Chain A
Amino acid sequence: MLGFRLERSPAPLWVRSLIPLIAVAITFLIVSVLILIAGAHPGEAFYELLINPLTRPTARAEILVKATPLLLTGVAVAFAFAGGYYNIGAEGQLYAGAVAAAWAGTQLHEQPALVAIPVMLVCGFAAGMLWALPPAILRIRLGVDEVVTTLLLNSVMLFFVSALLNGPWRDPISNWPQSPTIAASAQFPQLFARTRIHLGFLVAVLALLAFWWIFTRTRFGLELRAAGLGREAARFMGVRVGRVVLIAALISGGIAGLAGVSEVAGTHYHLIDALSPGYGYTAIIIATLGATTAPGVLMATLFLALVDIGILSASRQLNIPVYLGDIIQACLLLVALATLLLNRYSLRRSQP
C-alpha cells in the first residue's frame, strides 16, 4: 500500500523555493469562496485585485504610496524578529514617531527644509526608540515576555494620542481632533510630478538597504542572526545576546517611528488618530512572509500594497466589501506560516 509520512528533513529545494507561490495559491482558493458569497466572479475579482492596479499609472503610484509605511514598519519588525525579539509594538512606535513629527513640524516654521526634515526624522526615530525601550529593558533585565508588553503599549499610545488630539493639540482653526498643520518647509516633497509618492518612500528604501547591509555584511548582523537562531548557542559563541537584542529592539522602534514621521510629513501634514489602519500589525505579516530577509520583506510589502490598492477597485467595480483585503492578508499569513514548515519537514512516500 502506498502511504505518506512526515519526515524531519527539509523538503527538496525546488519545493521550498515554491513556498510563497504555494501559500498564495492556497490563500486564493480559500478567498474564492468568499468572493462567490459576495456575488462576484473570482476570476474578475482577482483581475481587479492583482492586474488592474498595475495597468493604470495613478494606481501604480498609489501602490508605492501605500508601500511606504508598510516597508518601514516591515523592516522594523523584521529587524527585531531576526534577533528573536517579538516586537508586536510597531503600531505604537509608529504613533510615537508621528507625535514627535507633529510636534517638531510645528516648531520649525523659520527653518528651511534642509534643516526641518532631518530634525523631524531624528525626532521621530528617537521617539520610536523611546517607546520601544521599556519592553526591551524589561525583557533583557527581568526576562519579561516582550510580546505582551509591546502589545499593551500600543493601546497606551493610542490613548495618549487621543488625549492630545482632544485636549491641547486640537486644531484651533478647524476644531477637529487633529493637530495643527506642520510647517510648509517640514512637509515632504513629492518625488515625481503628478503622483503622491513622497520623500518617505526614499527613506523607506534606504532603511531597507541599511537592513540588508547590516544583516548580510556586518558582524552585528551575524550576531543578530545567531541570537535569533538560539540564544544559548549564540552566548556560547561569545555573542553578548542581551546587548544585541537591546540594539535590535531600539533600531526596530526607531524605524517604526520613521513610518509615523513619513505618514505625518508625507501624507496628512498633521496628526490624526486614524493615521495608521494597522500598519504595525500588517508589518508582522510582512516580516513573516518575507522570512525576515530584506528581499523577502520588499516582495511581501509590494504584494500587500498591491492587494490594498486592488481591493479598492474590486470594491468599486464588483461591490466586494473592502474587508476582503484584510482577510487575504490574514489567510496569507496563516497559510505561509504553515507552508514554511516545508523548510523543516517533508512529506515522503513511504516504502511498501
Chain B
Amino acid sequence: MIEFIATVLGATLRISTPILLSGLGETLIERAGILNLGIEGTMLLAAFNGFVVAQTTGSLFAGLAAAMLTGVVLGLLMGFLTVTLGLNQHVSGLGITLLASGLALFSFRLLYGGASTPPSLPESFRVIPILSGTPLGPVLSQYGLTYLALLLVPVLSLAITRTTFGLRLRAVGENPEAADMAGINVYRMRYLALIIGGALIGLGGAFLSLAQLGAFTHGIISGRGWVAIAIVIFGNWQPVKVLAGALLFGGLQALQLRLQAEGVPLPYEALLALPYILTIIALAIAGRNASYPAALLKPYRREG
C-alpha cells in the first residue's frame, strides 16, 4: 500500500511539472493583463526545438536554452500583435498556437520524414536519486526541472507580492491608465511579462521532450497548454494555488494511469475531464467576484 501511494505521489510530481512550469509562465503574463492562448502551440514548438538542438549539439542544456528562446520569440510576437498593435488577444493567441504547431509539425516532417518510431535522444535528463531504497525514494527521486518548478513557486509568489517588479506587474494588469500616470511603462512591463512567461512556457514544453519522454511525437503536448490555462484560473492567478491546481491534475492523471495498469476497469476519461469541469465550476462559483486581473483582454492605448 505504501509502495502504491509512493509511486502515485512520485508520478503526480512528474506529471505536474510541465503544466506547473507553463502555468507559472501564463500566470505572470495574465497578471500583466494578457490572456495568452498561444501557450499550447508554444509548448509544442519549444519541445520540438529543444529536442532538435539537444540532438544536434549533444547538449541537453543547449536544448533547454533553445526551448526557452522559442518561448521568448513567440512571446515577443504575441506582444507585437496585442501590445503594440492592440489586436484581439483571443484570436492572436489562437493564431500563434496554430502557427507554432504548424511550424513544429512541418519541420518535424522535413527533418525526420515519415519515421514510424518517434526519434529519441541517446541520453535525456535523468532523475536525481534521493533516498532511493527507502519508501520515500519514488516520491523524492525527480528530475532537476521538477525541483526547479517547485522552487519557482515561492520565488514567483514573493516576486509578485513583495517586489517593485510585482507591484508594477499587477498595476499594469489591473489599471494600466493609473500605472501609466504613476510613471510605469505599460508596454515595457507587458513585454517583460511575455518574455519571462514565454521562457517558462518553453521550459514546460522542453520538460516533456528532454526529460520525461526523451523523444518527440506529434501528440507530445496534447492539451497540456489548455490545462495550464485552466489551472491558472483555478489557482486564482496565485502561484501557490496554481501549484495546487497542477498537483490536482497530475494526481488524477497519475491515479488513472496506475489503476489502468493494475487492470481496474473505470472510465478513465471521466478522471481526465475532471480538472476542466472543476475549473468551470470554480469560475461559476467565483462568478462576478473572480479576481481576474481587471485589465485582462483589454489593449492599452496611450492617449495623445
- Binary B-proximity of A274-308 (CB < 8 A = 1, otherwise 0): 00000001001100100000000000000000000
Interface string of B88-111 (1 = CB under 8 A from A): 101110111011011101100110
Residue B283 lies at the interface, judged by CB distance under 8 Å to chain A? yes
| B106: chain A residues within 8 A (beta carbon) | 34, 38, 321, 323-324, 326-327
Determine the chain B residues whose CB is within 8 A of the CB of A237 once the complex forms: none
Take A333-B95, A338-B81 as given contacts and tell me if A151 and B102 are in contact as well, using a CB distance cutoff of 8 Å.
no
Interface members, chain B 24-47 (any A CB < 8 Å):
35, 37
Contact B273 A156 (CB under 8 A): yes
Contact A327 B283 (CB under 8 A): no
Are A151 and B229 interface neighbours, CB within 8 A? yes
Knowing A88-B94, A323-B102 are in contact, say whether A338-B87 is a contact too (CB < 8 A): yes
Among B109, B233, B267, B276, the residue within 8 A (CB) of A155 is: B276
Interface set, chain B 171-223, CB cutoff 8 A to A: 223
Q: Tell yes or no: A144 within 8 A of B by CB.
A: yes
> Quick check: A147 and B90 within 8 Å, CB to CB?
yes
Across-interface contacts of B223 in A (CB, < 8 A): 155
- Chain B residues near A334: list those with CB within 8 A: 81, 92, 95-96, 99
A233 within 8 A of B: no
> Do B276 and A337 touch (CB < 8 A)?
no
Write the chain B residue with the least CB distance to A163: B269
Determine if A331 is an interface residue (Cβ-Cβ < 8 Å).
yes
- Rounded to whole Å, the gap between the CB of B118 and the closest CB of chain A is 16
Report the minimum CB–CB distance from B13 to chain A (whole Å): 23
Q: Contacts A152-B226, A159-B273; is A288 near B105 (CB within 8 Å)?
A: no
**Residues of B close to A166: CB separation below 8 A:** 269
- A330 at interface by CB-CB < 8 Å: yes
Q: Within the complex, which residue of B87, B103, B277, B297 is in contact with A337, where a contact is CB–CB below 8 Å?
A: B87
A134 to B276, CA, bound (A): 13
Give A334 to B41 CA distance when docked, in angstroms: 14
Near B by CB (< 8 A), chain A positions 121-175 give 134, 138, 142-145, 147-149, 151-153, 155-156, 159-160, 162-163, 166-167
Interface mask (A46-79 → B, CB under 8 Å = 1, otherwise 0) = 0000000000000000000000000000000000
Q: Which of B37, B101, B233, B269 contacts A326 (CB 8 A)?
A: B101
Asked whether B270 is an interface residue with its Cβ less than 8 Å from the other chain, the reply is yes
Q: A334-B92, A334-B95 are in contact. Are A162 and B269 (CB under 8 A)?
A: yes
Residues of B contacting A153 with CB < 8 Å?
A: 276, 280
The total number of A-B Cβ pairs within 8 Å is: 120
Bound complex: CA A149 to CA B87 (Å): 21
CB–CB B91/A134 < 8 A: no
B contact face: mostly helix, strand, loop, or mixed: helix
Q: Within 8 Å CB of B92, what residues of A?
A: 334, 337
Whole-angstrom CA separation of A243 from B284 in the bound complex: 19
B279: nearest residue on chain A (CB-CB)?
Answer: A152
Say if the beta carbon of A114 comes within 8 Å of chain B: no
- Of the listed stretches B49-57, B125-133, B159-167, B287-295, chain A binds B287-295
Tell whether A143 pairs with B85 under 8 Å between CB atoms, given A329-B98, A330-B99. Answer: no
In this complex, what residue of A is CB-closest to B227?
Answer: A155
Q: Apart from A156-B273, A333-B94, A337-B87, list 15 A-B contacts with CB within 8 A.
A: A38-B106, A86-B90, A134-B280, A144-B290, A145-B297, A151-B226, A151-B229, A152-B279, A163-B269, A288-B91, A323-B109, A325-B102, A333-B95, A337-B81, A337-B91
The 7 closest A-B pairs by CB, nearest first: A326-B102, A330-B99, A330-B98, A321-B109, A142-B287, A163-B269, A327-B102
